Amino acid sequence: MKPGRLGIGVIGAGRVGAVLGAALRAVGHSVVGVSAISEQSRDRAAALLPGVPLLEPAEIVERCELVVIAVPDDDLVPLVQGLADLKHWQTGQIVLHTSGRHGIAALAPAAARGAVCLAVHPVLAFTGMSLDLTRLTGAMVAVTAPAAFLPIAQALVVEMGAEPVALSEEEFPVVGGILARAREDIDRIVRQALRRLADQDLEEPARLAGPLVRAVLENALAAGPERPSTGFTGLTGPDGGRQ
């Protein structure tokens, strides 16, 4: 490896973990192992991290300088505690989780054994495919860590081509929750509209609705949080000419 490169292990080859592992591998870090339980996760690991061996979480912790934990929110705390109970965490080892629900408190058992703990939450809707690597470039990533370790989290994010946004331990889960709700609401509303369009026997409802959805989102983002909703202003058709 190049000087300053780390041996990385990824616990959880879900949509997020495999992509972040691939992004760090692309800048010269070595991915030593990845844990993947489901067949879908194993396929994803094979596609995004070819040649990387499948290992158990305990093996990853024992072998790696940087451990990326990208498991479901509910699994994070029990996993970290279980590995601590078995005395796997190591002094000076970097442990990074990607959950938006938890700050670094979720990694307290690892910190108690001397690990450097970071919370790093990319603000993206991941697909688990290679196109996420392109989307990661320039994306915003929420980070929190003890002050002495915050530069490490920020440097890793920058290496992945993204932009870090430092949050306090208290802000981190609040912001993560707001963004998760926004993602869920947008997904639900758009899918509902597509289903209704499909019910009209339209062959390509996504092609029809796509420009509108993208324009509405961009207009809302450009207007900012203080500007009140203007309803259908700017659209053609019924009510589209209201002032």
Q: pLDDT tens digits for the chain (243 residues)?
A: 455 789 999 999 999 999 999 999 999 999 999 999 999 999 999 999 999 999 999 999 999 999 999 999 999 999 999 999 989 999 999 999 999 999 999 999 999 999 999 999 999 999 999 999 999 999 999 999 999 999 999 999 999 999 999 999 999 999 999 999 999 999 999 999 999 999 999 989 999 999 999 999 999 999 988 766 555 455 544 444 444
Residue 81: count of CB within 10 angstroms of its CB: 15
Q: Which residues contact 136 (CB under 8 A, 6 or more apart)?
A: 19, 23, 122, 124, 160, 161, 162
| CB-based contact 57:84 (threshold 8 Å) | no
To which H or E segment does residue 118 belong? strand 116-122
Distance, CA of 44 to CA of 163 (rounded, Å) = 25
Alpha helices by DSSP H, listed for 56-170, are: 57-63, 73-85, 108-111, 131-136, 150-159
- Region for 35 from its dihedrals, namely left if φ exceeds 0, alpha if ψ lies in -120 to 50, beta otherwise: beta
Q: Say which amino acid occupies 134.
A: T
- Cα(169)–Cα(103) distance, integer angstroms: 6
Range 7-168 classified under CATH 3.30.70.20: no
pTM of the model: 0.87
Task: Outline where DSSP puts E strands in 147-186.
Answer: 163-166
Single-letter code of the amino acid located at 63? R
Tell me what pLDDT residue 100 has.
Answer: 95
Exposed / middle / buried, residue 165 (Cβ in 10 Å: 0-12, 13-18, 19+): middle
Report pLDDT for 243: 40
- Structure confidence at residue 226 (pLDDT): 76
Please report, for the chain, the start and end positions of each structural domain, with discontinuous segments joined by +: 7-168, 175-223
Q: Please, which residues bridge with residue 116 across strands?
A: 94
Q: Which helix (H) or strand (E) holds 120?
A: strand 116-122
Q: Which residue, among 46, 58, 57, 4, has the nearest Cα to 22 in the 3D structure?
A: 46
pLDDT for residue 203: 87
